[in-house]
Amino acid sequence: MEQSAFLSILILGFFGLLALILIYSSVLSYIENEKKAGLKLLGLTIPIIALGYFASFQNYELKLVVAISLSIITLIMTYLLFKKPIQSNVSEQDHPTRRFDEHDVIFARMRLKASTPDWEQYYSNHKYEEEQDNKARSLAGLLNQSSLYYNPLTYNSSNANFDIIEYLHKAINHPTAGTTSNFDKVTLTRYIKGWAKYLGVHSIGITELKDYHLYTVKGRGKEKGKPIVKNHKFAIAFTVEMDYTNVSASPASPTIFESTQKYLDCAIIALQFSTFLKNAGYDTRAHIDGDYELICPLVARDAGLGEIGRMGLLMTPDLGPRVRIAVVTTNASLLLDGYNAEPTMIEFCKYCKKCADCCPGKSIPHGDMIESNGMKRWKINSESCYQFWCVAGTDCGRCMSVCPFSHPNNLLHNVIRRLIRRSFIMARLAYIADDLLYDRKPKPKPIPNWMKPD
């Protein structure tokens, strides 16, 4: 009798805890405006409670086996929650074997003017790019009044943000002081990271600046055509969080409103860091939207901020791709954050494919990684991606919004992300639960009322 009561308590505790988790998750889903997911979770609690009642208070031959099995499951899940993420060593093939010319970036190509020497010089050897770029030019265009998601309020705000970023480009050339402060690297690193958190930065890391981080030649801006030389030893990479509500409305106008706002936030913070270091006598440069000398996702990855996912964006462990990045390069001596590859995040991208299924431009591959320039990665079709931008009038962001890693930063989603980083099994299965709760192709959320024009 005592054994039966003890087994009943064990089983009841398991199902009771599971029911509480489901109810809590349902409430969180309602708070996130995911009412459909909330109803599904709430509905699931009914059979769980019924099953728990039967398994706890009825007598049957396998009751001991059930109690032991549920105890083992509880112990395994507890262990996974507290163990370290699965990581692997970096191989020699984890980075590009050659540098890229910024002229090949589609944003640089779209600035080319017809019948100019630059146009003739580039497209004479890039016929495919000329064909695809001219197709993009024939469409409405980014932030154009005739585009699909035109909104006079959010489009004007986005253009204003771009204009301010353009003004900020001048601050990149702030002079370096003649006298060096010689800060201790431990103190300086601690201060910059603490300052970053104070400014609202989501994550920050420091890596040694590598040749493959840099473009070979600048492809846009006033210094277009300038060879890029590795003048700095260190790179500070940081991310800022993009608002979940605005991103969830993608590809409608809130996504470009949010994107430009976070590019602006990144620019201001990067310039604060670089000006501070220059005033302290260290040769430094901020790399911000429209004026990069390097590839930000690669630098951020090597600084330990995440992995490059299927959609070609940086996947951070806590927010997935729902971030914007900026980089500051410097000769100030700093403590390094090493890159530890996270194979379970790559494993998740390998099986999920939700971004590829939901991409309006069909630009994200469904297949396996390929070797490109000595590095295994998923390579998106940047031409078809940008062409959809020119139809929509926004920078889309649909892949970012549907990514299961992009869910809000709360206990429910943090536990799931944590389990994925600690278990290959969870990495292969978690996306299925996401599909069941939020659908394989979820509908974009409505734009906030305050953004709607009359």
Q: Are the beta carbons of 394 and 144 closer than 8 angstroms?
A: no
| Ranges of the chain whose pLDDT falls below 50 | 1, 92
pTM of the model: 0.94
255, 286, 257, 283: which is closest to 272 by C-alpha?
A: 286
Q: Residue 93: its pLDDT value, please?
A: 54
| Full DSSP string of 193-257 | HHHHHHTT-SEEEEEE--GGGBBSB--SSTTTTPBP----SEEEEEEEEPPHHHHHTTTSTHHHH
- Angle 419-423-424 from CA coordinates, rounded to 5°: 130
**Dihedral Cα 422, 425, 427, 429, nearest 10 deg:** -140
What is the Cα–Cα distance from 271 to 268, expressed in whole angstroms? 5
Q: Residue 358: its pLDDT value, please?
A: 98
| Full DSSP string of 370-397 | EEETTEEE----HHHHHHHHHHHSS---
Q: Are the beta carbons of 331 and 217 closer than 8 angstroms?
A: no
Residue that is written with structure tokens 């954050």 in the block: 337
234, 256, 38, 39: which is closest to 147 by C-alpha?
A: 256
The Cα-based distances of 248 to 186, 244, 323, 446, 452 in angstroms read: 40, 6, 13, 8, 16
Q: Are the beta carbons of 85 and 421 closer than 8 angstroms?
A: yes
Q: Residue 419: its pLDDT value, please?
A: 96
Looking at this protein, which amino acid is placed at residue 269? Answer: I
Q: Residue 54: its pLDDT value, please?
A: 92
The Cα-based distances of 106 to 112, 133, 159, 381 in angstroms read: 10, 8, 19, 11
Phi-psi region of 252 (alpha: psi -120 to 50; beta: other; left: phi over 0): beta
Question: What is the longest distance spanned by two Cα atoms in the chain?
Answer: 92
3-state secondary structure 132-182: HHHHHHCCCCCCCCCCCCCCHHHHHHHHHHHHHHHHHHHHHHCCCCCCCCC
Q: Where are the domains of the chain?
A: 1-82, 102-402
What is the Cα–Cα distance from 53 to 59, expressed in whole angstroms? 11
What number of CA atoms fall less than 13 Å from residue 267's CA on the CB side? 23
Looking at this protein, which amino acid is placed at residue 444? Answer: P
pLDDT tens digits along 260-273: 999 999 999 999 99
Q: Residue 92: its pLDDT value, please?
A: 47
